[in-house]
Amino acid sequence: MHVPDGFINAPVSAAAGVVAAGAVAVSLRGARRELDERTAPLAGLVAAFIFAVQMLNFPVAAGTSGHLLGGALAAILVGPYTGVLCVTVVLLMQGILFADGGLTALGVNVLDMGITTTVVAYALFRGLLKALPKTRRSVTGASFVAALVSVPAAACVFTLIYWTGGTTDIPIGKVFTAMVGVHVLIGIGEALITALTVGAVIAVRPDLVHGARGLTSSLKLRVDGELVDAPARQPLAPVAARSHRGIWATGLVTALVLAGFVSYYASANPDGLEKVAADQGIDKKTEEHAAKDSPLADYGVKDISNARISGGLAGVIGVGATIVVGSGVFYVVRRRRTQDAPDDTTRAGENV
Amino acid sequence: MGAGHAHKLYRHGHSPVHDLPPHCKIAAAFCFVVVVVSTPRESVWAFGLYAVLLGAVTALARIPAGFLLKRLLIEVPFVAFALLMPFVVPGEQTHVLGLSVSVPGLWGAWNVLAKGTLGVAASVLLASTTELRSLLLGLQRLKLPPLLVQIASFMIRYGDVITDEMRRMSIARRSRGFEARGIRQWGVLAKTAGALFIRSYERGERVHLAMVSRGYAGAMPVIDEVTASRAQWAHAAALPVLALAVCLLGWTL
């Protein structure tokens, strides 16, 4: 799913880049909390792990083979922030060194394969774990579902981006069916391998699996013949002691404004191209088109009479996609915050 | 494993292109690709001129054409996709070699192929004329967050180590008669991935301890600060500026 240069037009690529940069900035802060000062070496080696695991081909039926994307696996094993960072670094290096995925499409690739897969997988994983009993089996099951959904979700985000800024007007319905159809299949493989891998790690080192941290029962002390909860371990270094809500809010607003502005600009761009195309004789096309009653005709068609409508739609979709992705990131962030809060009341006391 | 760890992607040499500071080259390659992407697809000649520009850089960097072409093969999956386009895109039909294909589809295929190939060629040129470590330094100079650069540098340093680890596990599996044929073998592969994760994670912890014991305090010291003079920036800017001129011509003509 590595998008090359020239597949998505420049303004939408830029908007995706801005959103991706914002999400990476949030993850950089979050990862420091997940790994304290070990971030650089640990995340680096986990990134190397993901890079290697993407080369691990698993045979699918009939001689074909697939490989892992690794977003869900990373999120469950090392946490969502570190997961986003690891996959982003892998994509960045693949783009610069191996020319796999275009330089200008880097934002699209990171948003699509790095952020969407990890955020969707982790949100779903956490939600399922809340509902399921706290056993190892439910962790494995939850990671199966999380990975299964994360891959088609990435395909959906790709389709959305393509709808906003694709350089070729393939009817969006076809793109959607093809992308999601293929990626549901890939998702099944990804889900099985992810679940089995998580299961294998839990069997040996359950303490390393970030997603299974709730499993271990809390330490109890026997005080005067009564079991009492031991005080929570003090965090080593409260790196992120300041409140980042303001920064996040600014980031989201900036991303929204930019995406809104840029996607408006983007919607103006195909118009220009359309005019060029119109000069080459499109008179016949309208008649031909009336014969075709594809359900998505209003959206996919970009002939002159519809240019404004489809332009406006493109703008709305651009902003919508940004809000969905942005709020997805924020949802997970807030979830973690509220979840952290009861654990270490001492730290919260310090913060105030 | 350390600094002198030459990678097979890099082609050692001494040329004006090799000697440019890395951040100038990264910026130039990025601007070039942006310009290429924003060129209208109808001006076919412009893409020819871009290819000539890249060819000139390749000659200046003394990189054999065969090397560049071989590395371009990474694009093949997308070529297949682009070749499908003329058949799935609706619109005005025309006949090419007896096949009925759509005109917008042909334009779309041309667009993706031309821009994609030029983009891949630009990044291949960048990677083969710049050492890995200096690429990372260049990214840092371009204000990529230092933590991200550190993560990337660890990934690159240990990428080969971890990949080799996986290769050894694969040899061990095969020497015990394992053959991955279908879904039934996925369990073994997943256990391999699990073991690989534990090994990478534990290595990460050991590396961190080793770094802390040598005085690491959250930031890597930069020993060889690379700076770029005005002339070097001007040399690097030649490629994107010429491309921009071509692009503007393409929009106006």
CB contacts, 8 Å: A103 with chain B: 29-30, 33, 119, 122-123
Q: Is the pLDDT of residue A331 over 80?
A: no
Q: Which residues contact A319 (CB under 8 A, 6 or more apart)?
A: A256, A259, A260, A263
CB contacts, 8 Å: A200 with chain B: 190-191, 193-195
CB-based contact A189:A144 (threshold 8 Å):
no
DSSP state of B169: H
User: Given CB atoms, is A204 within the 8 Å cutoff of chain B?
Assistant: yes
Cβ–Cβ below 8 Å for A4 and B116: yes
Structure tokens at B26: 């990264």
Matching residue, tokens 């880049």:
A17
Q: Are strands B99-102 and B93-96 parallel, antiparallel or unpaired?
A: antiparallel
Residues B22-32, mean pLDDT to the nearest whole number: 90
DSSP state of A166: B
CA-CA distance, B201 to B10, in Å (whole number)?
Answer: 28
The torsion of the CA quartet A184, A190, A191, A194, rounded to 10 degrees, works out to -170
* Among candidate residues A121, A103, A105, A122, the one with its CA nearest the CA of residue A158: A105
CB-based contact B49:B253 (threshold 8 Å):
no
CA-CA distance, A174 to A177, in Å (whole number)?
Answer: 5
Neighbouring CB atoms inside 10 A of B84's CB total 13
Q: Which residues contact A178 (CB under 8 A, 6 or more apart)?
A: none
CB contacts, 8 Å: A78 with chain B: 201
* Among candidate residues A300, A301, A304, A309, the one with its CA nearest the CA of residue A280: A304
CB-based contact B102:B93 (threshold 8 Å):
yes
Mutate to test the interface with B, among A49, A110, A179, A236 (most CBs of B within 10 A): A49
CA-CA distance, B115 to B44, in Å (whole number)?
Answer: 11
Residues A65-86, mean pLDDT to the nearest whole number: 85
* Among candidate residues A159, A105, A153, the one with its CA nearest the CA of residue A125: A153
Closest by Cβ to B119, choosing from A59, A60, A103? A103
Residues B142-147, mean pLDDT to the nearest whole number: 84
Residue A284: what pLDDT? 39
CB contacts, 8 Å: B203 with chain A: 45
Q: Closest chain B residue to A70 measured between Cα atoms?
A: B193
* Among candidate residues B11, B237, B230, the one with its CA nearest the CA of residue B126: B11
Q: For the domain bounded by A10-214+243-278+297-337, which CATH number is listed?
A: 1.10.1760.20
Q: Which residues contact B238 (CB under 8 A, 6 or more apart)?
A: none
CB-based contact B213:B194 (threshold 8 Å):
no
Closest by Cβ to B198, choosing from A9, A167, A208? A208
pLDDT digits (tens, 9 = 90+) for A148-173: 999 999 989 988 888 888 777 777 88
CA-CA distance, A33 to A56, in Å (whole number)?
Answer: 30
Structure tokens at A321: 């996609």
CB-based contact A10:B34 (threshold 8 Å):
yes
CA-CA distance, B216 to B212, in Å (whole number)?
Answer: 5
Residue A289: what pLDDT? 42
Q: Is the pLDDT of residue A238 over 80?
A: no
Distance from CA of A184 to the nearest CA of B (A): 16
Q: Is the pLDDT of residue B150 over 70?
A: yes
* Among candidate residues A224, A227, A147, A139, the one with its CA nearest the CA of residue A187: A147
Q: Is the pLDDT of residue A66 over 70?
A: no
DSSP state of A221: E
Residues B49-68, mean pLDDT to the nearest whole number: 89
Model confidence band, residue B157 (pLDDT cutoffs 50, 70, 90): confident
CB-based contact A200:B193 (threshold 8 Å):
yes
The amino acid at residue B124 is V
A247-261, B16-30, B153-167: the lowest-pLDDT one: A247-261
CB-based contact A73:A273 (threshold 8 Å):
no
Q: Is the pLDDT of residue A279 over 80?
A: no
Cβ–Cβ below 8 Å for A4 and B120: yes
Give me the DSSP letters along B26-42.
HHHHHHHHHHHHTS-TT
Cβ–Cβ below 8 Å for A288 and B38: no
CB contacts, 8 Å: A192 with chain B: 183, 186, 190
Domain locations in chain A as residue ranges: 10-214+243-278+297-337
Q: Is the pLDDT of residue B81 over 60?
A: yes
CB-based contact A4:B116 (threshold 8 Å):
yes
CA-CA distance, A252 to A22, in Å (whole number)?
Answer: 8
Q: Is the pLDDT of residue A37 over 90?
A: no
Structure tokens at A131: 């509902």
Residues A262-280, mean pLDDT to the nearest whole number: 42
The torsion of the CA quartet B201, B206, B207, B208, rounded to 10 degrees, works out to 90
Q: In percent, how much of chain B has pLDDT > 90?
A: 8
CA-CA distance, B39 to B29, in Å (whole number)?
Answer: 16
Higher pLDDT, B156 or A245: B156
Mean pLDDT, rounded, of chain B: 83
pLDDT digits (tens, 9 = 90+) for B183-199: 778 888 888 888 988 88
Closest by Cβ to B204, choosing from A46, A55, A285? A46
Residue A19: what pLDDT? 93
Distance from CA of A273 to the nearest CA of B (A): 8
Higher pLDDT, A325 or A134: A134
Residues B70-79, mean pLDDT to the nearest whole number: 79
Q: Is the pLDDT of residue A264 over 60?
A: no
Closest by Cβ to A40, choosing from B7, B147, B203? B147
Cβ–Cβ below 8 Å for A37 and B195: no
Spell out the SS3 assignment of B72-84.
HHHHHHHHHHHHH
Q: Is the pLDDT of residue A189 over 50?
A: yes
Residue A119: what pLDDT? 92
Matching residue, tokens 């295929």:
B109
Mutate to test the interface with B, among A2, A96, A158, A179 (most CBs of B within 10 A): A96
* pTM above threshold 0.80: no
User: Given CB atoms, is A297 within the 8 Å cutoff of chain B?
Assistant: no
User: Given CB atoms, is A323 within the 8 Å cutoff of chain B?
Assistant: no
